[in-house]
Amino acid sequence: MKDKAFNNQLMEYQRILKSLAKRFTKDQEAINDLVQETFIRALKYMDQFFNNPRVVSWLFVIMRNIYINQYKRLSYQQNYEDISLYYYNHSLSSEPYTEDSSDKRMMLGDISKIISELPVSHGEMFNNYIDGYKYRELSEMYGIPEGTIKSRIHIIRKTLQKKLKVKYATN
């Protein structure tokens, strides 16, 4: 019964959330997606805010965080696509083969392999850091102190440097 009551309460805020979503985007489909994703996230964490008088504020914070995360993800994907397109276009160009471009691709593959060998949480954390998340955001995301995040990122960087140095110094 609690779920249904919360569901009904959320539906009362749908119009308000749509108008708030217009602060982030003018695209009606994106607005609907943002509101729907906000409802899904709210339902997931409804135990934290059942019968709270400031539900709209809570929902707006959820919506804002979803939008920020989507924006970062899209900008990272766009950047990755731009880089991939650049390398693809240069690989098709009439310029002679350069060892440098294949070395870069090989090094990117090695970096991905090293990151995949890390504990899953560390690899995800480092990838999120590369995606543009700030230390504070990572701290909130993983529920650990910001200093611990900084330390782990530093250790992962040093590990990457050491392993890449060993691999490329011997070749």
List, for residues 116-163, the tens digit of each pLDDT value. Answer: 888 888 888 888 888 778 888 888 888 899 999 999 999 988 888 888
Whether residues 56 and 35 share a domain: the answer is yes
Whether residues 58 and 130 share a domain: the answer is no
Whether residues 83 and 113 share a domain: the answer is no
- Residue 27 predicted with pLDDT over 90: no
Whether residues 15 and 73 share a domain: the answer is yes
Closest Cα partner for 65 from 32, 29, 44, 34? 34
Closest Cα partner for 36 from 1, 63, 73? 63
93 and 150 Cβ atoms separated by less than 8 Å: no
Residue 85: pLDDT band (50, 70, 90) is low
Amino acid 102: pLDDT = 64
Whether residues 28 and 75 share a domain: the answer is yes
124 and 116 Cβ atoms separated by less than 8 Å: no
Query: What is the percentage of the chain residues whose pLDDT exceeds 90?
Result: 7
Helix (H) or strand (E) holding 89: helix 55-92
Whether residues 73 and 88 share a domain: the answer is yes
Please state, in angstroms and rounded to a whole number, the distance separating the CA atoms of residues 120 and 110: 17
Question: How does DSSP classify residue 96?
Answer: P
Task: Please give the residue that has the higher pLDDT: either 92 or 119.
Answer: 119
Task: Please give the residue that has the higher pLDDT: either 91 or 71.
Answer: 71
The domain total for the chain is: 2
Range of the domain at 67: 1-95
Give the domain-ending residue among 46, 63, 95: 95
